[in-house]
């Protein structure tokens, strides 16, 4: 009887360990949604159907109060698009992972390469970018992105300065 009891207990414990939810994966529906968001950005279609109505976007933000809504994020991208003759995430070694936190929150992290060509002078700029997305009920509720924008900012300042010099010579 003891053997049967211990065998049953061992089976229960083994089964319980086998049915544990994944806390980390590189393949999930949420990762596919993020890939769709990246494609939407690259195609300039700005599909918001994958975002919750209350989604918040934080780009290079150091404040929980400095966020954009989905509509504001689209406007941000469209305004920046004017600076580039081409831009987008490359297919050069992208990495995606989904994690479930101890609190049960689902996040997808990705590390990507972004490449752009400046419209005014044709200069190419390549920047590594980290994006992370929080999901609730299959929708993105929070998007956070970090990258070093200094090369783009310096190039835009140089273009503006050159234009001012050109304008003053023409007068």
10-residue mean pLDDT profile of the chain (171 residues): values are 58 56 89 97 94 96 90 95 97 97 97 97 97 97 97 93 79 71
Q: Cβ(59)–Cβ(127) under 8 Å?
A: no
Pull the structure tokens for residue 6.
């211990």
Q: Cβ(4)–Cβ(66) under 8 Å?
A: no
Residue in 54, 89, 88 with CA at minimum distance from that of residue 71? 54
Integer Cα distance of 136 and 112 in angstroms: 23
List of domains in the chain: 22-170 (3.10.450.50)
- Residue keyed to tokens 């994944």: 22
């Amino acid at each position: 009887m003891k053997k049967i009891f211990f065998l049953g207990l061992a089976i229960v414990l083994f089964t319980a360990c086998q049915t544990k939810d994944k806390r980390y994966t590189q393949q999930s529906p949420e990762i596919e949604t993020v890939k769709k968001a990246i494609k939407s950005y690259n195609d300039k279609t700005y599909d918001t159907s994958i975002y919750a109505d209350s989604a918040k976007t934080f780009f290079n933000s150091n404040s929980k109060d400095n966020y954009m809504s989905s509509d504001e994020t689209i406007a941000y991208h469209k305004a920046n698009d004017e600076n580039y003759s081409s831009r987008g995430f490359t297919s050069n070694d992208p990495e995606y992972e989904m994690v479930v936190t101890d609190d049960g929150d689902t996040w997808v992290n990705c590390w990507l390469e972004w490449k752009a060509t400046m419209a005014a002078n044709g200069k190419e700029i390549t920047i590594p970018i980290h994006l992370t997305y929080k999901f609730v009920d299959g929708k993105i509720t929070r998007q956070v992105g970090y990258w070093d924008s200094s090369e783009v900012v310096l190039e835009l300042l140089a273009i503006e300065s050159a234009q001012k010099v050109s304008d003053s010579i023409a007068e």
